[in-house]
Structure 1
Amino acid sequence: MKCTINKKLVPMKAHYFLFNAGSGPVTPYLSIYARQLGFSSIVVGFMYTILPIFGMVAKPIFGTIADKFRCQKRLFLAAQILTAVAFLVIFYSPKIHTTRIVNFSCYNDTIGFFSNSSINKCTLDNLRRQNTSNMCKMTCGVIDQSLLCNKWNISDHCGHDPPTTLSFTALTPTYKIQLTNTFLFFEIANITLNNERILTPSCSNGSPLSTCHINCDDYNINSLITETSIDDSDAYRSYQFWCLLTFMIIAWIGQATVVSIGDAICFQLLGDEHNSYGYQRLWGSLGWGLIAVVTGALIDVLSKGRAQKNYTSAFYTAAAFLITDFLVSLQIKHTQNSVSTNLFRDVGALLLNIRIVVFLIWCVSIGMCTGLMWQFEFWLIEDLAKIQGCSATAHVKTLEGLVQAIQTIIGETPFFFLSGIIMKKITHVHTMSLVLFAIGIRFILYSVIPNPWYFLPVEVSQGLTFGLFFACMTSYASIIAPVGLEATMQGLVGAVFEGVGVSAGSSLGGYFYKKVGGPLTFRYFGFAALIICVIHILVQRLLQELNGAKYSTSEKSKSFNFNLQQLCMHHHQHLGNNRTGNYSMSNDLV
């Protein structure tokens, strides 16, 4: 049997690979990068609460514009460049002002500095095991003159007024860091003053000697003592916050537009072969999985010895892939010939159909579960790792990298490839029920697994819960879309899934995670998914009985219901022969 390649679809496959390869190096790290810019977790959480809302608004708006003015490809290409530019601008976003202030004091006749930063025992043990000495530059307020003269023998500051500040370099051995109640005490082994004088400082226990600004060579120590210099309420009014939020919104809108319009173009290229969508989209999973893992390792390599993580490679790699995607996408042979004569009436007709409403509710349900998984699966992994002990915590980032690789390469890729066969075999409606069932089982397993490394085999189910789901959602949306409204329908469905479902799931998941903890949160969501699965099966069966139709996989086509069929006939009579209707549905949907 000779295998033939559809050359018309090659640029589309390349687009999915390149666009996801361009998103993978940046998107997973944006929240961490925002924290590195000085924003607290509360501020970053607020950003990620409103970002999906902009995606919800952007997808149907730009989809409608693309359909109305027949400019799908132009908007598609423009959004790719917009995303690349937004990523680069985010990289150069101004940092919020941060401070590193410690109390210079004595403890057990030893001089050092205190920090009230929270730290877990594993992190402290790791620091001690480094057995290194780190240089910290300190600028302190006025220090008692008797200490300078009698204990430190600094004659320069004896007999006259001491300076308002004293700057020196302190050597702090990591193996001598102590945890005292809620404070960390960093012992100072010696001090270098005026680039030449090395002292072995001593003192007597008493009140803090001074308050000092400090900057250490070691990234871990710096991260422990760094605090944002302004309160969260003030951060919302800072220009740094609005710059970063604006750039992230632009990037989010760009990505949302590329995804929704890109899928619409793909389905138009496929024609009646809707079930072949998975063969195209699987290249996106490969691009994301391969490049995200490589970029993560590259960030660690290039950040060795630095005070902060170096994300230069991630952002420039992303921009390079997105620009390449733009150049490749120029080769997509796509012409948009059909256009809806009454956009709102056509979309409104769909929203009056009960099957479409059930489909959109299904999108919201899956979106809520996806929001929980996107935002809190790594939280759960790290919480379980802490319970397992320091050895598990030490390798938790490696575990998270493996989780992403298994999800995309081993999970999503084969199921995108098989999605068309599965949906043709069991129909779209039964595929929807299968996805809900898989999510329920997956979340319940999360809630009972004690060791996070046991998550790895479970991650293969990503093929069902996202790969098969996404192929089903987009292909169903393409099939039910009226002629000329393909991008509008993809945007509407994407907005419902992400803007409503993912946003609500992230918010609700965060509330339950705080109230009952990670395992119970995933268990509750898992049980809810199974209940919705049963309801979905019963509702679809009831709709079949009400419509008086006997559906089977061997039948070629039937309309969704009598009322919608009558509406379509009236609509075609009104339009004459100027367009061909697309309301009659292939029976493999139901």
Structure 2
Amino acid sequence: IEINKDLLPLKAHYFLFNAGTAPIVPFVPTIAKQMGFSSVVVGTIYTVLPIVGMITKPLFGAIADKFHRQKLLFLLFQVLTIISFFLIMFIPSIPQEAKVKFHCHGTTDLKYCPQDTDPPLNECITNKLTSGNQNQTLTCFMDCEAKPFMWDVVCKHWKEEQYCDVKNITDPTRLRFTTLIQMNKIELIDKCLMFVVSGGYFNDGTDSRKVLYCPETEKEYFSTDCDVVCDNTAVTDLLSVSRIENKDATKLYQFWLFFILLILSWAGMAVVVSVGDAICFEMLGSKPHLYGNQRLWGAVGWGTLSLFAGFLVDKLSQGQSYKNYTIVFYMMLIMISADMFVSYKLKFSQTKLSQNMLRDVGKLFTSIRVVLFFVWCILVGLCTALIWNFLFWHLEDLAAQQPDCDHTVWMKTLQGLAMTIQCFAGELPFFFLSGWILKKIGHINAMSLVLLGFGVRFLLYSSLTNPWWVLPIEIMQGITFGVFYSTMASYASIVAPPGTETTIQGLVGAIFEGVGVSSGSLIGGILFANIGGSETFKIFGIITLICFVVHVCIQKFLEKVLGPKEAQYSAPVDALYMLQEDEHEPNLNLSPPN
């Protein structure tokens, strides 16, 4: 077997760049969730990010074509990706608060009821706390709103004589003390957690333990709102929620730091991907059908590193209430830095230059077949957004509903396994076979197959009750991404007039992400917040299957009216050389058929 050594750095680039982005990109929505942002805020962010790609891809693609600076831009935007992603690690989370009701009337207890805008109680932690099997004493510091009559209760019934004299009360509006709670006395009543208070003390424990008792004969009912911090992290985290309204998120510096760094990193990735694909097709020359053989190494890199990333996050987070993502940022730093080294070794030259790029690109929009191809890219972008941004969110919500906590503990490992299956059982074989598939069924049928795959995949997601059952579904990534991306990239290369290759790759990517993924992110975020993950995937699945039927009907109509050759998204060079690897360059026109 003869190995083309000139293509080895290209394969290494796809492997290393995808290996570098795999530890971070899939986890960004869940990182945002852990920071305290809602699905609406995350969906809004992901509405803007693809628009950034829509602008930067054709803009810098045109600059690369115009000034023959593909490699320079390629390397500079890898640097931008590294810096912007790495800085995300240092952004602090949104401050959270834990509020409870303190009742003292015959019996004394704390009561926590989630508000309508709060996330539901974590089921596995709640079940563990209310099992009655824990014999520890929970200590919680209380900072409560105080009314004048409450100080009389503290003086008379709690026996804190120092507060009998108002001169000793430094802040009459706040009552601060510590409660002691037996953890086997925690109950779940009407979706509210009840903590029975067995005693308490003042002055940081220097006083003796008190019985916090209030007679039922008291004229006024002792009930107040309190901020609470407990010495059990599971309890504190269960009670803590971010009460930042969606409209107020933009007032937080954490939001803007996160948003700006994501914009920069998305711009970096967008240019690296589009320019990298253009370089790839330039190096392949007359054999664009071999694109899948290069791109499959990206799937290998993504699948390998995502598995290790998920496992390491879980391993390094054991015993912690939050996931520790530090390791994934260092993995990204190492892999993309290595990618810069091999990218510098790429040997290629852009031999053609369009004399009138705007005119050449504009001609594409006069072809009904190319316009329909763009519409298909938008539809696939809508579907892809839901998987990229909200699949892991959905899995974490499902895990929180499980009766035990094992699903939550190993959630990142599950997500890493899902990505590994996506790559090795899905993308890799389909990228490898993409040339053969496109020759056998044609671009039109491949596009229909992708829509059908998304529809079935979404309906399967909507029926999940156990998050681990997502693993066999991820094999469908081969159809919904492997076949899709090979079809999109190869057709974009085929229809590109000479000298506009980078521009067209950027334009197609911009339509896919800037219109499709952007819209899907916004719609998905709103639906997730209002109807939940299962119903959102069901709606998307049904609509996608309808689009599949419409796409088939339209193509059958075009085939009948214009003839089969007119309706095919292919060019002679694609059909003749799909499975050949000879070195002869065909003297064929690469423009789309009229």
1:52-91 residue pairs with structure 2 within 5 A? Answer: 52-91=50-89
Partner residue in 2 for 1:570: none
| 1:234 Cα deviation after fit | 2.9
> Does residue 183 in structure 1 map to residue 192 in structure 2?
yes
CA contact (8 A) 1:86 1:247 kept: yes
CA contact (8 A) 1:189 1:200 kept: no
**Alignment match of 1:330 (pick from 341, 344, 350):** 344
> Does residue 216 in structure 1 map to residue 227 in structure 2?
no
Partner residue in 2 for 1:491: 506
1:108-119 residue pairs with structure 2 within 5 A? Answer: 109-112=107-110, 114-116=112-114, 118-119=120-121
Cα deviation 1:198-235 (Å, max 9, x = unaligned): 62543236745544333335444333332335443332
| 1:488 Cα deviation after fit | 0.7
Q: Please, what is the CA RMSD of the aligned residues?
A: 3.6
| 1:331 Cα deviation after fit | 1.6
CA contact (8 A) 1:382 1:396 kept: no
CA contact (8 A) 1:443 1:525 kept: no
Cα deviation 1:108-133 (Å, max 9, x = unaligned): 71333535353265441133358355
**Alignment match of 1:460 (pick from 475, 479, 494):** 475
| 1:421 Cα deviation after fit | 2.3
Count of residue pairs the alignment pairs up: 565
CA distance in 2, matches of 1:243, 1:270: 40
Residue range with higher mean Cα deviation, 228-237 or 253-262? 228-237
1:349-498 residue pairs with structure 2 within 5 A? Answer: 349-378=363-392, 397=411, 399-446=414-461, 453-498=468-513
Partner residue in 2 for 1:311: 325
Classify the secondary structure of the residue corresponding to 1:104: strand
The residue identity in structure 2 corresponding to 1:541 is E
For normalisation by structure 2, the TM-score amounts to 0.83
CA contact (8 A) 1:222 1:307 kept: no
The residue identity in structure 2 corresponding to 1:359 is F
CA contact (8 A) 1:25 1:315 kept: yes
Classify the secondary structure of the residue corresponding to 1:334: coil
Structure of greater relative contact order (alpha carbons < 8 Å, 6+ residues apart): 2
CA distance in 1, matches of 2:316, 2:177: 29
Partner residue in 2 for 1:249: 263
CA distance in 2, matches of 1:359, 1:517: 29
CA contact (8 A) 1:70 1:336 kept: yes
Cα deviation 1:440-462 (Å, max 9, x = unaligned): 34344445667655443332121
| 1:157 Cα deviation after fit | 4.0
| 1:167 Cα deviation after fit | 4.8
Partner residue in 1 for 2:8: 10
CA contact (8 A) 1:369 1:525 kept: no
For normalisation by structure 1, the TM-score amounts to 0.84
CA contact (8 A) 2:47 2:517 kept: no
CA distance in 2, matches of 1:533, 1:549: 12
1:230-269 residue pairs with structure 2 within 5 A? Answer: 230-269=244-283
CA distance in 2, matches of 1:550, 1:478: 15
User: Structure 1 residues 306 and 468, CA, compared in 2 at 3 Å: closer, same or farther?
Assistant: same
The residue identity in structure 2 corresponding to 1:406 is I
Partner residue in 2 for 1:139: 143
CA contact (8 A) 1:97 1:228 kept: yes
Cα deviation 1:332-362 (Å, max 9, x = unaligned): 2233333211110110122212222122122
Residue range with higher mean Cα deviation, 221-230 or 476-485? 221-230
Partner residue in 2 for 1:34: 32
CA contact (8 A) 2:378 2:511 kept: yes
CA contact (8 A) 1:444 1:526 kept: no
The residue identity in structure 2 corresponding to 1:183 is C
CA contact (8 A) 2:78 2:268 kept: yes
The residue identity in structure 1 corresponding to 2:364 is L
CA contact (8 A) 1:366 1:436 kept: yes
The residue identity in structure 1 corresponding to 2:55 is V
Cα deviation 1:173-212 (Å, max 9, x = unaligned): 5443322335322344554643544625432367455443
Classify the secondary structure of the residue corresponding to 1:428: helix
CA contact (8 A) 1:171 1:191 kept: yes
**Alignment match of 2:169 (pick from 162, 165, 168):** 162
Cα deviation 1:277-304 (Å, max 9, x = unaligned): 1122122222222222322232233233
| 1:396 Cα deviation after fit | 8.5
Partner residue in 1 for 2:128: 126
CA distance in 2, matches of 1:540, 1:170: 75
What are structure 1's unaligned runs of at least 5 residues?
A: 559-579
User: Structure 1 residues 198 and 185, CA, compared in 2 at 3 Å: closer, same or farther?
Assistant: farther
Residue range with higher mean Cα deviation, 325-334 or 543-552? 543-552
Classify the secondary structure of the residue corresponding to 1:339: coil
User: Structure 1 residues 273 and 119, CA, compared in 2 at 3 Å: closer, same or farther?
Assistant: same
